[in-house]
Amino acid sequence: MMENLNKNKTRIRHPEKVNKPESFQVTKPVWLKVKAPISKGYFETKKIVDTHNVFTVCQEASCPNIGSCWSKKHATFMILGDICTRACAFCNVSTGKPNDLDLFEPARVAMAVSKLGLKHVVITSVDRDDLDDGGAQHFANTVNLIRKKSPNTTIEILTPDFLRARSDSLDIVLSSNPNVFNHNLETVPRLYHEVRPGSRYYQSLKILDKAKDINPFLFTKSGLMVGLGEELKEVMQVMDDLRTARVDFLTIGQYLQPTKKHYPLYNYVTIDDFDKLKKIAYSKGFLMVSSSPFTRSSFHADDDYKELLKKKIQSNK
């Protein structure tokens, strides 16, 4: 994407024109290379995660920021098990038939959050289309137990779209009063069929908009990946759609192809272009924007939440 952000007509190779993922290679730029995680904090975090038998998206999704985050004892927990019922082409989380719901998982997550001393925590999950409520009550139970165990910890949830779940699933989740509600669009509508075959673009927009209907004071957040073959005009349209859904916070990060079997990488977006995307997003009215190669939904989420609060206060003056 975006060899020149001043030209909305920048063309991107369509996925059907890529013969095989393994035949399409792009040289990784130096700014995307990270050091191996070897810090004391990293190993202390790993010990707590392992001891409490909890899953983290840091590990399951092979996040490039794991060394940086875990060195500070920051971890993003993944609930509802580690097997997803969908098969998104960009995601490295295992897909298949999930195990039975672990009713003790919320308590273990709450204990791990307490042991890590987290001031802000992000809770996400796999998709569980096999569950009647899509895992909504499990989310609520997890948030409620974290509040009980760590009352001063602010909580951000990154949920599935509840596409095949009962209609009150979002109400159940938000009854636990998280501080931030996040649901990622991930990519532009044109690429949904290939990138997110089990999801629907407008369902994701709808859930973000409905969250504001349920609680107008709730911070809402969504994220996009770039480098999948999108065009600038498409990204700008997604920004407009998110603002129509009253989303406060937008994250934009570089897509990194996990393996040769995953959706092919089209290109690496430059740091300058990430900065330009940030400016465009702010011009459209987002309260906060994080745009960089390493940006992920939960990266620096604690600092971002503090900044979000400050900006909200300033906007109300």
Instruction: Give the pLDDT of residue 164.
Output: 96
Specify the long-range contacts of residues 52-57, CB closer than 8 Å, at least 24 apart: 52/108, 52/109, 52/111, 52/112, 52/115, 53/108, 54/105, 54/108, 54/109, 54/112, 55/79, 55/81, 55/82, 57/93, 57/124, 57/298
- What is the secondary structure of 243-260 as a DSSP string? HHTT--EEEEEE----ST
Q: Is residue 1 part of a domain?
A: no
* Cβ count within 10 A of residue 153: 19
Instruction: Give the pLDDT of residue 17.
Output: 39
Q: Is residue 23 part of a domain?
A: no
Q: How many structural domains are present in the chain?
A: 1
Q: Which of 298, 310, 305 is nearest to 251 (CA)?
A: 298
Q: Is residue 103 part of a domain?
A: yes
Q: Is residue 107 part of a domain?
A: yes
Q: Is residue 30 part of a domain?
A: no
Q: Is residue 71 part of a domain?
A: yes
Place of tokens 């010990």: 47
Q: Is residue 84 part of a domain?
A: yes
Instruction: Give the pLDDT of residue 6.
Output: 44
Q: What is the pLDDT along the chain (317 residues), one digit of tens a residue?
A: 554 454 433 333 334 433 334 434 467 666 555 554 555 556 666 666 667 777 775 554 455 545 455 555 567 889 999 999 999 999 988 999 999 999 999 999 999 999 888 889 999 999 999 999 999 999 999 999 999 999 999 999 999 999 999 999 999 999 999 999 999 999 999 999 999 999 999 999 999 999 999 999 999 999 999 999 999 999 999 999 999 999 999 999 999 998 999 999 999 999 999 999 999 999 999 999 999 998 887 667 778 888 888 888 887 76
Q: Is residue 5 part of a domain?
A: no
Instruction: Give the pLDDT of residue 137.
Output: 98
Domain that holds residue 242: 36-315
Q: Which of 188, 236, 266, 189 is nearest to 3 (CA)?
A: 266
Q: Kindly report the pTM of this predicted structure.
A: 0.85
What CATH number has the domain bearing residue 207? 3.20.20.70
